[in-house]
Amino acid sequence: MAAFNEFTSMKDMAQFSFYNNKQHGNSEIETNDISRNSNDHVPLCSINDVQLRFLVPDDLSEVRTLCQDWFPIDYPLSWYEDITSSSRFFSLAAVYNLAIIGLIVAEIKPYRSLNKEDRGILPDGLGKTADIGYILSLGVHRKHRRNGIGSLLLDSLINHLTTAERQSVKAIFLHVLTTNEPAILFYEKRRFTLHSFLPYYYHIRGKGQRDGFTYCTDHLRHYASKLCWIGEIFKWLVMRVRQAIRWICHKTVSRFNFAP
C-alpha cells in the first residue's frame, strides 16, 4: 500500500506537464493501461466487442492475478474482497471473450475527509460540503492496450459521477508514480493536471519507496458549468419565444379590433 512521509504543495504546477519537451528512456516501473511498445498489444475487432460490468465476489481470484501483474504494489486480500463486493466502490470491469481485460476502481469521498496531501484540489468555500471522486486503480491487460479500453473505463466513471444524483461530486483525483510516463501522459490528455508532489509515497514491491504525484481534474465542475450555461441559454430562448407569442397575439387581436 502507499506510504506517505512528507508533503510538498505545488499549486503553481496546474499547467505543468512533467514530460513535456523532455526525452525519457523506459520507466523503471510501469503500472498503467498504456503500453510503451506498440507491438505489445493485440488489436480488437471493435471496441463494441468489449462488455462492461461491475465486479462480483467470484471475480476476486482473477482480479487479484491481474493486479499483481499490472501493479508493483502488494494489496492485502481485504482490499480485493472490498472492491469485488462492497457497494462503496465503483468497480467496473471490461470483459472480452468472457475474460476481464481492464478494470477501474474508484470511490466517492467527502472532500473534508481527504488527507493533508490531497487538500487544495477544490476552493475552500466549495470543499466544505463537496464530494470528490478518487481513482484507486485503472489498468488494462497488456495484450489489449492501445485499443481505447482505458478511455472507455474512465469515461464510464465520469458519466457515473456527472449524473443528477451526484451533483455534490466536484472533481476527480488520483495518485501516480513519478516514473510512470505513459499513465501521466494518458491522464494529461484527459485534462488531468498536476496538483502536488508526494515524496516516498509508494512502497514498491522489491524496490522500496518511490515518489508519486497527485493529479486531478475539475472538469466535473466544467461539466456542471456547461449545464448551467445550457440552462441559461434555454431560459433565454423560452423568454424570446414567449415574447414572440405575445407579439403575435397582440397583432392578431389588434387586427380583429380594427378590421372594417
Cell of 218: 475539475
CA distance 66 to 139: 9
**CB–CB of 54/92 below 8 Å?**
yes
Q: Are the beta carbons of 131 and 170 closer than 8 angstroms?
A: yes
Which burial class, exposed, middle or buried, applies to 158 when counting CB atoms under 10 A from its CB (0-12, 13-18, 19+)?
Answer: middle
Q: Which helix (H) or strand (E) holds 172?
A: strand 169-177
Element (H, E) at 194: strand 193-204
Q: Cα(173)–Cα(90) distance, rounded to whole angstroms?
A: 14
Cell numbers 481485504 correspond to 78
Which residues are known to be catalytic?
134, 175
Closest by alpha carbon to 184, among 56, 13, 64, 68? 13
Kindly report the backbone phi and psi dihedral angles of residue 18, in degrees, each rounded to the nearest multiple of 5, phi listed first: -60, -25
Query: How many helical (H) and strand (E) elements, i.e. helices and strands, does the chain have?
Result: 6, 8
Asked whether the beta carbons of 49 and 41 are under 8 A apart, the reply is no
How far is Cα 84 from Cα 42, in angstroms, rounded to an integer? 27
